[in-house]
Chains A and B, each alone.
Chain A
Amino acid sequence: MAAKYELKLGAATREAFGKALVELGKADENVVVCDADLSKSTFTHLFGKEFPNRFFSCGIAEANMVSIGAGLASSGKIAFVASFSAFVLNKGFEQLRVNVAYSGIPLKVVGTHSGISIGEDGPSQMSVEDISLACSLAGFTVISPADEVAMFSLVKQAAYHPGAVFIRAGRVKVPVIYGPDQKFEIGKGIQLTEGTDLTLISTGLMVAECLKAAEKLEAEGVSTRVIDLHTIKPIDRDIIAKAAAETGCIVVAEEHLVDSGLGVRVAQVVTETNPCVMEFHGVNNTYAESGLPEEVLEKYKMTAADVAVTARKALARKKG
């Protein structure tokens, strides 16, 4: 089943974000963008070049940027603020809480360079806690697209989504999973493969790794279901409950601290609906290190082979 996905390398999700912004800006002059001196990295420079009067360069001052974005949004603008995930969420968290979440302001917040796949720059720039932080903002919608197609579509939807949104983007080029006609709906997961023995649930760049892991497992005779939860909050309860009931075994894989990201949110739904065997695959209570992105991902066990190992462990438990 998983073999039907070619997984050819595509663009980084941050680049798709930048391109979506330009398209939004062309269609709607109400769209404005703020950045904090990382516009060439977040790809908001594409918007800035096209629409300089609607682009607010805030300097290296993320807290100020988030509040300015909130002010623009509260005056009726469709406002995006962007930086590295580690900076916009950690340095802007208080402002996201008070000026955006608590105030009910529909700001769109984009964090790029998420997870550990950023590579050479190392842990100070990596964000292994952004899903946790974003999900802890009451009322926020949290989105983590797996490829450029998903990102392009979901950014454009997020712009007109009522309420505040956080979008998680990555630095590195990632495989293309979706065809150009794929439909995405905020809050609805996508089942990528059928399967009855095991479900792999993932988000962001780990979705492609789960598809590769599924191929390995299928070769071992394990019927493996793969689900992309591009929306982490609100979480798609139906797709999770169904997977739990029909496969009785779930592994969640994520490029995030394993005890506070997607996995615990999936587990909450599973325990509330159809309890089953679960295993959790992620970054274990640590910060990663510098290196080539693929080296870092390998060392910190974020590859298809590693996910398969965790899956076999879950299957063994299921068999008892």
Chain B
Amino acid sequence: MTRTSDLSELQSIARTVRRDIIEMIGAAKSGHPGGSLSAVEILVTLYFDVMKHDPANPAWPLRDRFILSKGHAAPVLYSVMAETGYTPKDQLNTLRRIGSIYQGHPDRRFIPALEASTGSLGVGLSLGLGMAEAAKLDKSPSRTYVVLGDGEIQEGQIWEAAMYAGFHKIDNIVAILDNNRIQLDGWVKDIMGLDPLPEKWASFGWHVIEVDGHDIVALQAAFAEAEATKGKPSILIAHTVKGKGVSFMENNPKYHGVAPTKEEVELALKEIG
């Protein structure tokens, strides 16, 4: 795989990933475009720059772990895994079809390189804590990255995990909150508001870093800050735009879980460029 810290290269990869997402979901005629598009820069920065991993050796014990706890954003994960060489690129458009390795939500029975099968919200952070604790026991440098949705943290188990990580000072885990402010039924603030977000996490003992989740340079700096923070777990509260990169999907609750039509796919691809 190509590793790079170069901004223009990472931006170019992000564009490819956005195209993949639109094409995959368009072909599948179902899926979750909004929350996939909002997490593109987060996953591209992690997979191509920040994380230590080896697609040729997915079971490498010292690898960093990645969990997409918001499993419905599977298309963005599938795209970066294909672009980094874990899985075949030419099958991306089989998303959600019977027998496809690209299942509706990430499923490690079909892609063994996945650290976790996800899709039921709220459980990924705890799972990541188990991996982080195992790394500590083994004195391994492995770090664990868990991407959460903002709607997802309405789940109670998230706060059990938050409490555990803060109390036990699990500093080899990083949560990334994709704060796109929209969940299936509408705006988070209207359904079960989360404010004040940074204060909530800080009060649970986390080092909180607020960041523009589409600014790759800012994300790189935030991940470096998290790695340098000892004795505390870190969370990036990544301010993002749901549907980012496609004008008619941006900030539109409709595209949480609705696929673009054929015409919309063409329009979207033109916009992404």
Question: Which residues of B lie under 8 Å from residue A73 when comparing CB positions?
Answer: 130
Q: Mark B108-132 against chain A: 1 for CB-CB distance below 8 A, else 0.
A: 1100000111111001001111111
* Majority secondary structure of chain A interface residues (helix, strand, loop or mixed): helix
* B128 (CB) vs chain A CBs: closest residue: A71
Chain A residues with Cβ below 8 Å from B163 are: 59, 61
For A104, list chain B residues within 8 Å (CB): 108-109
Q: Name which of A69, A72, A77, A98 has the most chain B CB atoms within 10 A of its CB.
A: A98
Residues of chain B contacted by A79 (CB below 8 angstroms) = 130
Q: How large is the interface on B (under 10, 10 to 19, 20 to 34, 35 or more residues)?
A: 20 to 34
Q: Which residues of A contact B134 (CB under 8 A)?
A: 32, 71-72, 75-77
Which of B108, B119, B131 has the most chain A CB atoms closer than 10 A to its own CB? B131
Residue-by-residue, is B74-107 near A (CB-CB < 8 Å gives 1, otherwise 0)? 0000000000000000000000000000000000
B203 CB to nearest chain A CB (Å): 17
Contact B130 A69 (CB under 8 A): yes
Q: Which B residues lie within 8 Å of A53 (CB)?
A: 137
Judged by a CB distance under 8 angstroms, whether B11 is at the interface is no
The minimal Cβ–Cβ distance linking A90 to chain B, given in whole angstroms, is: 14
Report A-chain residues with C-beta under 8 Å of the C-beta of B133.
Answer: 56, 68, 71-72
B154 at the A interface (CB under 8 A): no
- Cα–Cα, bound, A117→B137 (Å): 38
**Is the pair B120, A71 in contact by a Cβ cutoff of 8 Å?**
no
Residues of A within 8 A of B161 (CB): 64, 67
User: A residues within 8 A CB of B120?
Assistant: 94, 97-98
Contact of B157 among A63, A69, A75, A103 (CB under 8 A): A63
**Residues of A in contact, count (CB < 8 Å):** 30
| Least Cβ–Cβ distance between B48 and chain A, in angstroms | 24
Cα–Cα, bound, A98→B69 (Å): 12
Residue of A59, A70, A102 near B130 (CB, 8 A) is: A70
Q: Does B164 contact A (CB under 8 A)?
A: yes
Known: A32-B137, A61-B164, A64-B157. A103 touches B130 (CB 8 A): no
Chain A residues near B128 (CB, 8 Å)? 71
B164 adjacent to A64 (CB under 8 Å): yes
A56 neighbours in B (Cβ, 8 Å): 133
Q: Whole-angstrom distance from the CB of A38 to the nearest CB of chain B?
A: 16
Closest to A63 in B: B157
Confirm or deny: B160 has a beta carbon within 8 angstroms of a beta carbon on chain A. Answer: yes
The 5 tightest CB contacts between A and B, nearest first, are A71-B130, A67-B126, A75-B134, A64-B160, A61-B160
Write the residues of chain A forming the contact surface with B, with a CB cutoff of 8 angstroms: 32, 53-54, 56, 58-59, 61, 63-64, 66-77, 79, 94-95, 97-99, 102-104
